[in-house]
Amino acid sequence: MMIDVTILGYIAAFCTTCSFVPQVLHILKTGDTASISLAMYSCFVLGVFLWLIYGIAMQDWPIIIANAITLMLASAILLLKIRDVFRARKTPQLSV
């Protein structure tokens, strides 16, 4: 039995997109973004945005849907990280 390539794309999109939900929920619950790399998430969000543009250009719905949702989730993580970086810069450091 041969699986339809589009169905395979939707399954892959579902798996990769859902992988971000636990991280977003964890950060929202704990408020802790210390272990998140700002550079990595910046680069990742840019890459997901470009994949979204590619999917739109190719009219490939699994790519469009997966990257639109992933862009929202990863952008939420990135924005929370940026918020925390700016908060840390504003908070005076105690010297020991």
Q: How many residues does the chain have?
A: 96
Tens digit of pLDDT per residue, the chain (96 long)? 567 888 888 898 899 888 888 988 898 899 899 988 999 999 999 999 999 999 999 999 989 999 999 999 999 999 999 999 999 888 776 665
The answer as to whether 42 is a domain residue is yes
The answer as to whether 76 is a domain residue is yes
Look up the CATH number of the domain holding residue 30.
1.20.1280.290
Domain count within the chain: 1
The answer as to whether 46 is a domain residue is yes
Q: How is residue 30 written in tokens? A: 């704990």
The answer as to whether 92 is a domain residue is no
The amino acid occupying position 77 is I
The answer as to whether 95 is a domain residue is no
Domain containing residue 59? 5-86
Among residues 53, 10, 28, 90, the alpha carbon closest in space to that of 36 is found at: 28
Reported pTM: 0.80
